[in-house]
Amino acid sequence: MAGSCSSIPAFLTGALGSFESVERLPGDASTREYFRVTAEGKTSILCRDDALKQSGADDYPFLIVQRLFKARGIPVPDIYHMAPSDGLLLIQDLGDRMVEHIAGGLPPSECFSLYRSLLDIAVAIQSIPVENGRPPFTLSFDEAKLLWEFHFFLEHCLRGLYGLKNEKLLKELREEFLRVAKLLDRPGLFVLNHRDYHSRNIMWRDGSPFVIDFQDSRMGLPQYDAASLLRDSYVRLDDELFGRLNDYYYGKSFDAGVHRMSPDEYGYYFSLMAFQRNVKALGTFAYQVAVLDRPHYRKYIPATLGYLAAYGEKAPETGRAAALISECMGAGL
């Protein structure tokens, strides 16, 4: 158990009685550590997170959202045992198979059925009644949060990874980003979102999906989770399948009372939201490559960048920013 703390064996012995092995799992874009624990031929996942130690169980976002989602029938991993003072959680092992791994090998009809079930889960999350004053409902994709993510992209992608020093261009991009952020700050339309609802955060176990990495859930436009899934950096859906699924989500979410937008209004905000979400993802990938020295994230940049130009058709406010970003990044791909 290289790199583990002395409290782990005692924690596992208390939770399981005995155990045969503890295997460190490779990390993704996260500061948490994960281990697969084998005990009596069965496996579970040990998570170590200093944030749990600092906040305590009552204020730990993962536990708050896990309980909220589970109470509403959202498929999330079970929690078996915890030691908040040590930052340790023992949770259900959902395996290693993500939606990313299976979507590309499916024929269109089966891929549509798969994604339809995932959109149903998104609608179920967005249908959770708001509890004012309680997390995660106290967090939102307001103008300040969206601008923070846009500026993260400027700092770590354009300045950091691509070495951009043209202050005039950066100033123009800030102005374009501010315009988009103001348009997306519509609290009267906000619902609860997973916040990172893409093919790497949905596990596939025994023929069923399970949602993970939900601790940053917050309020925002319903299009946020739809855009995360349907304009995913890891799995690109062809245009015909994307159109069918986006139409399905529109009807399903409308019928569930998640929104009351017309098809045109929905499409406008979808394009605005997807633009912001993809720009945010570009910033994250650049940070992983340039700051955390995880070069394998670079391969997701071209596909994500490739989404941006099309959003201008329904949301012309994104056109100038998309062109500037492409100009800055295109030569560096």
Tell me whether the CATH fold assigned to 7-92 matches the one assigned to 99-330.
no
Three-class SS state of 152: helix
- HSE of 150, CA atoms in CB hemisphere, 13 A: 29
Domain at 7-92: CATH code: 3.30.200.20
SS3 category, 211:
strand
pLDDT at 4: 46
Q: DSSP assignment, residue 132?
A: T
How distant is the alpha carbon of residue 4 from its chain centre?
27
What does the pLDDT look like over 4-55, one tens digit per residue? 456 899 999 999 999 999 999 986 656 789 999 999 999 999 999 999 999 9
Mean pLDDT rounded to a whole number for the chain: 95
Residue 296: predicted pLDDT: 95
pLDDT digits (tens, 9 = 90+) for 240-264: 999 999 999 999 999 999 999 999 9
CB 286 within 8 A of CB 153: yes
Backbone angles phi, psi at 321, to 5 degrees: -65, -40
> What number is the average pLDDT over the span 69-87?
97
pLDDT digits over 130-159, tens only? Answer: 999 999 999 999 999 999 999 999 999 999
Domain-wise residue ranges, the chain: 7-92, 99-330
Residue with tokens 């059925």: 113
Instruction: Assign domain 99-330 one CATH number from 3.90.1200.10, 3.30.930.10, 1.10.260.40, 3.30.70.1060.
Output: 3.90.1200.10
Q: Residue 323 has what pLDDT?
A: 97
